[in-house]
Amino acid sequence: MNNKRHFILLAVLSVMVLAPLSAVAVLTLSGNVRFLGNLVITGTLSKSSGTFVIDHPLDPKNKLLYHSFVESPEAKNVYDGIVALDAEGTAKITLPDYFDALNNNVRYQFFPVGEAMPNLHIAAEEKENQFTLAGGMPGGTVSWQITGVRKDPYILKNPIISEVDKGPGQPYNKGECIFEPLCE
């Protein structure tokens, strides 16, 4: 028989103690704090910045890779920039050397800047961390964006599930609302 008891870390006046999960808890931490496992926050999270950090896909034993948060139902990475087209109205856009190792399901957006370029198109799809635009005005400027969905080992093992039922294994039970006025 599994006789697990759940406890919560209770911090009062800078003294930390373990208390039964049913207790009301206040936790004050300062400095660098590391949580291993899942962390659920109900309410507003205010932060100066937010990142994910994983082992670098090209050098996992020696480097870390940090990326800023993007809000999406997918674990999406966003890369963008401004590029000047050459004398033929083309531009090869080089992405970070880890792009292909980290991403799949690539999507593109691009817009001419300053003048219409009705023939602007993707001449070569992303491959080997680069893609090519063509059909633009020679010397013109293009704003581009490319997104990819993470395919690193961590996200494959821990995928984002965007819709789940409330209840066992979730932070809220059926009938409970995070923001009570929504339940009225």
Nearest to 103 by CA among 173, 35, 155: 155
Residues 181 and 169: their CA atoms lie apart, in Å, by 24
Nearest to 101 by CA among 132, 74, 129: 129
User: Residues 27-45: pLDDT tens digits?
Assistant: 777 788 888 788 887 665 6
Look up residue 171 and give its DSSP letter: S
CA distance from start to end of the chain: 40
User: Which element (helix H / strand E) includes 17?
Assistant: strand 15-20
Look up residue 154 and give its DSSP letter: H
Nearest to 9 by CA among 31, 28, 30, 37: 28
Main-chain phi, psi angles of 57, to 5 degrees: -65, -20
Tokens of 59: 């050098």
Provide the pLDDT for residue 43: 61
Structural domains in the chain plus CATH codes: 74-157 (2.60.40)
- Residue ranges in the chain modelled with pLDDT below 50: 1-7, 10-15, 17, 19, 22-23
Provide the pLDDT for residue 140: 98
Provide the pLDDT for residue 13: 44
Provide the pLDDT for residue 10: 45
Q: Is the pTM of this model over 0.85?
A: no
